[in-house]
Structure 1
Amino acid sequence: MFHQTDIRTRLPGMTPFPVDVFPQEQPWLAQHLLPLIGIDLGILRPELAGTVATMLCPIEPYEGCIGEETEEHHNAFTGTNWIAFELTTDNRMRFLGDAGYFIGDQVQDSDAVEHIAEMRDSYAKAHAYFQAHGRLASYSRYGDGEPGEQAYLDRLGGQISGGNWTETAAIPTAFEIALDPAMYDRHRPDDAENVRITRDGKPFFAVAEVAGYNWCAAGADAIVMLYEPDSRTVLFSYDWT
């Protein structure tokens, strides 16, 4: 099984700051989600070569979890701290939720407005740094204002490992989550935290994880990205350590 951590050198099939990520019928997604890196899933499974999913960083929330203030717009594929996409045949990320799931620029809180502007500005600066130097650097609000070079991904492949993201909020009803006893080894108790997530009984596999602040001013400590090949579903959750 392919598994690497701290990916600082781009692998073939990895495209930082990809363009044309969202379908034409959902152009508003670009107001809410920052495309970090396209990942050819053939890196993880050769039979999926040419299938490219994009790691996305939500611009919101300023505080709390994404979706927790828009419950009236949740559905079977979206919920607090969970969002899902269908990967189209031309590798666009089609959101499986309602546009009202995102607060976006309708937010009234002045700190949240400042946060949104800072996220967009820091992303643009990171993109410019990449174009100039061919490496990723973050303009994190936790730094000194200078660019700090970062890993493109903190983790690529491997098992779906547990974390507080599995318990922060209930998974949307289109999916099921459970500990995976097939992965448990009593000699390696950490394996007890490996989880199994399915859609219609078909399992997701781990694609990648990265901290939002590797790329932007802020963000989750781990953006967790999963994929189910038959339905071409890309599922995200967020670990806040």
Structure 2
Amino acid sequence: MSDQSRFRRLRGSFRLGRRDREGEALPPDDPRVEVFPDPVDVFVSDQPWLGRVLHPLVSIDLGVLDPAALGPGARDLPVLARGLLLSPVEREGGLLGGHLPAPPDEWSAVNWLAFRIEDDGRWRLLGDRSVFAIETVGDDVPAALAAFYADAEADLAASRERWRVHGVLAGGDFGDPTRPRAGSEGGFPVVERLGGDTPTGNWVVEPPPAAVVLEAPDAGAPVLRLVDGRPFRFVAATPGYPWRDHGADAILLFVEPETRTALLTFDWS
């Protein structure tokens, strides 16, 4: 299956049909986004390990979005607030966090990540780092897990090189991953969907962290709220596989601006 065919399948997989308000696709040169932001610039300094387990793909300037899209709490966001689309390294053999017998706290859940947007715009993970298996083994990392991380870093490095040299987001050539794959030279949007209705998909299957309520009706868009009722706003979604092998079919970002809480979840085929 070509990358473009997979892209069309992705659009159907979480129902980006015409009946939905589909939002906006952002090209690589859109001034509202930064591609491949440095982990040092987007994560808080006292959680430096986040750059190993999460690859920052796109940073979106929340300050230039229509405040109506984020709701009345948009004024509570810091001036430097950004939305991040992050690709988790771990998923092999199951879902992110699936190795845990139970969520360790109210902000942790299988296939979900919760963050606080700090005053300087950087993100702080609210849940426990044990949702990443590599963070539970100390220096004695199993060989298979170490190899999986090494492959992910190599994939990301090749994707960065494709971006640097060719200026496109595209899958890598099988013989030379620093070159775009045949059939995908035209590239993908760096954000497949900015705003619009909340996409549906298999991301609703896994319950969110205990601090969050998910309403997923059979008909209509899913709704995410904090337990006190404050709603999250859907901000953006994009596929992860053009950036790195084994990336999610969709990375979805939600923000509750009053509490500066950001949620990421992932759609997998």
Report if the CA contact (8 A) 1:140-1:216 is conserved: no
* Residue in structure 1 matched with residue 142 of structure 2 by the alignment: 108
Residues 165-186 of structure 1: per-residue CA shift (max 9 Å, x gap)? 111x211110011147xxxxxx
User: Residue 84 of structure 1 aligns to a residue in which SS?
Assistant: strand
User: Residue 241 of structure 2 aligns to a residue in which SS?
Assistant: helix
- Candidates 84, 96, 103, aligned match of 2:126: 96
TM-aligned CA deviation for residue 130 of structure 1? 1.9
Structure with larger RCO (C-alpha < 8 A, sep 6+): 2
**Quick one: distance in 2 between partners of 1:233 and 1:10?**
28
When normalised by structure 1's length, the TM-score is 0.84
TM-aligned CA deviation for residue 152 of structure 1? 0.9
Report if the CA contact (8 A) 1:14-1:40 is conserved: yes
Does the alignment pair 1:150 with 2:150? no
Amino acid of the structure 1 residue aligned with 2:161: A
Residues 47-106 of structure 1: per-residue CA shift (max 9 Å, x gap)? 566421211110112121000102456311111111110011111110001222211274
TM-aligned CA deviation for residue 214 of structure 1? 1.7
Stretches of 4+ moved more than 3 A in 1?
46-50, 143-146
- Candidates 13, 38, 54, aligned match of 2:32: 13
Counterpart mapping for 1:41-190 below 5 A: 41-46=62-67, 50-72=80-102, 74-104=104-134, 106=137, 108=142, 110=144, 112-139=145-172, 145=177, 146-148=179-181, 149-167=187-205, 169-179=206-216
**Quick one: distance in 1 between partners of 2:101 and 2:220?**
29
Q: Alignment length, in residue pairs?
A: 227
**Quick one: distance in 2 between partners of 1:68 and 1:95?**
18
**Quick one: distance in 1 between partners of 2:263 and 2:244?**
21
Residues 6-29 of structure 1: per-residue CA shift (max 9 Å, x gap)? x33432220001121111110111
When normalised by structure 2's length, the TM-score is 0.76
- Structure 2, unmatched stretches of 5+, are 1-20, 68-73, 182-186
Provide closer, same or farther for how the CA distance between residues 61 and 179 of structure 1 changes in structure 2, counting only shifts above 3 A: closer
**Quick one: distance in 1 between partners of 2:36 and 2:128?**
25
TM-aligned CA deviation for residue 139 of structure 1? 2.8
User: Whose strand proportion is higher, 1 or 2?
Assistant: 1
Question: Which stretch of the first structure deviates more once superposed, 145-154 or 194-203?
Answer: 145-154
